[in-house]
Amino acid sequence: MKNILNLSKKELEEYCTANGFKKYGAEQIMRWIYQNRIFDFSIMSDVSKDLREKLDKDFYVKLSGIIDVKYENDGNGYSKKYLINFENGDIVESISIAHKNRRTLCVSSQVGCRMGCVYCETAGMGFSRNLTSGEIISQLLSVENYENDKITNIVFMGMGEPLDNIVEVEKALEIMSNGKFIGIAPRKITVSTCGLINVLEGFDINDYKYKIAISLNAADNETRSMLMPVNKKFPIEKITELVNFKKPSLHNKITLEYVLIKDLNDRIEDAKRIIKLFSPSKVKVNLIPLNKAENSFYLKNFERPDNFTVDKFKTKLSNAGFTVTVRFSKGGSINGGCGQLKAQTKR
């Protein structure tokens, strides 16, 4: 017996034809599951009886469980940090962030992470395993069910490096963005990477459906390699080469994420380096003043810059023509901000 949430449309179509059923059965089943959220095969009324009986023998539907929720009200709405567990007991975190009419879900793609970025709490827990596509989608299904509300945007900025688990992530993306299934438009889905250029090079960067965010965090190789071991393999030149190859675009720029760390990458010279390396016609910049979990041992050497410094950095980039946003991570006070996603097992 397998969890049917782990199958792509193509895989389910193959299953149908291999068992003597029409290929179209796959789409019917998936509509019931992802559009209607019906998980009992026996009531999928337009699916042939024989196929329903066969499905009952081979598959089950199992959502992830929500074992804890922490709320934060920032005046505009709630952020909720979910502790989510899977069939084998592994735990990850997902955060839903409400802003005006938008409901963004920050999903995890791995249990832990092997990228080792020194400013990120998830790295401190090491790597356990990749999530399956079903486990990635399950985070959304469980949260929507719990909140009784639709998620409108998805960011792959929870635990893990999505491009280090690209096969399962792409399977999940396909179901999340398919208008007949979950139906979140590709332009409302952002895949964030620490810069696995080898995987990015496999995408058609000018025609990639989903939004791409690259965690830059430093504009010189020495600092970036210190912060992000991945930079030793794929240095900044690789990022600029890829980004600058992209055609200028008004609506589909690559986002450069930049965690601001006091006295380390927050000087005006750092902003100037960004200006020199990148073009405002191709990228926008998202500044994230460092988040630090209370009593973080892992981040003990790092501090968040003061607001004045953040503002100066932002103004320097804006004056050079860049669209710049500052993300004072919501969920900060519940240790649910970026880089603070470290599953605590409740014992």
Binding site for ligand SAH (CB under 6 A): 119-120, 157, 161, 192-194, 215, 217, 257, 259, 288, 290-291, 338-339
Helices (H), the chain: 9-18, 24-30, 49-58, 121-124, 133-147, 166-177, 197-200, 221-227, 230-233, 236-245, 268-277, 307-319
Query: Which of 11/170 has CB closer to ligand SAH?
Result: 170
- Residue 208 neighbours by CB distance under 10 Å: 15
To 10 degrees, the CA torsion angle through 324, 325, 326, 331? Answer: -160
Per the rule left: phi > 0, alpha: psi between -120 and 50, beta: everything else, 91 is beta
The active-site residue out of 93, 121, 161, 174 is 93
**Whole-number minimum distance, CB 270 to ligand SAH, in Å?**
15
Cα angle: 75, vertex 76, 82; to 5 degrees: 95
Query: Which of 7/264 has CB closer to ligand SAH?
Result: 264
Tell me the C-alpha distance between 295 and 313, whole Å: 28
**Whole-number minimum distance, CB 120 to ligand SAH, in Å?**
4
In the Cβ-directed half-sphere of 184, how many Cα atoms lie within 13 Å?
26
**Whole-number minimum distance, CB 227 to ligand SAH, in Å?**
9
Which residue number has the CB closest to ligand SAH? 339
123 phi and psi angles, rounded to 5 deg:
-60, -35
Residue 311 makes CB contacts below 8 A (sequence gap 6+) with none
Query: Which of 86/119 has CB closer to ligand SAH?
Result: 119
338 is known as an active-site residue: yes
Tokens coding 164: 């280090």
Query: Which of 264/290 has CB closer to ligand SAH?
Result: 290
**Whole-number minimum distance, CB 199 to ligand SAH, in Å?**
12
117 is known as an active-site residue: no
**Whole-number minimum distance, CB 70 to ligand SAH, in Å?**
18
Tell me the C-alpha distance between 336 and 291, whole Å: 9
**Whole-number minimum distance, CB 137 to ligand SAH, in Å?**
18
Query: Which of 115/182 has CB closer to ligand SAH?
Result: 115
The active-site residue out of 16, 106, 120, 338 is 338
Q: Which of 131, 178, 177, 130 is nearest to 154 (CA)?
A: 177
**Whole-number minimum distance, CB 194 to ligand SAH, in Å?**
4
Tokens coding 252: 């589909």
Residue 268 makes CB contacts below 8 A (sequence gap 6+) with 312, 313, 316
Amino acid 149 reads D
Per the rule left: phi > 0, alpha: psi between -120 and 50, beta: everything else, 324 is beta
Query: Which of 25/305 has CB closer to ligand SAH?
Result: 305
Query: Which of 8/291 has CB closer to ligand SAH?
Result: 291
Tell me the C-alpha distance between 179 and 182, whole Å: 6
Catalytic residue annotation: 93, 338
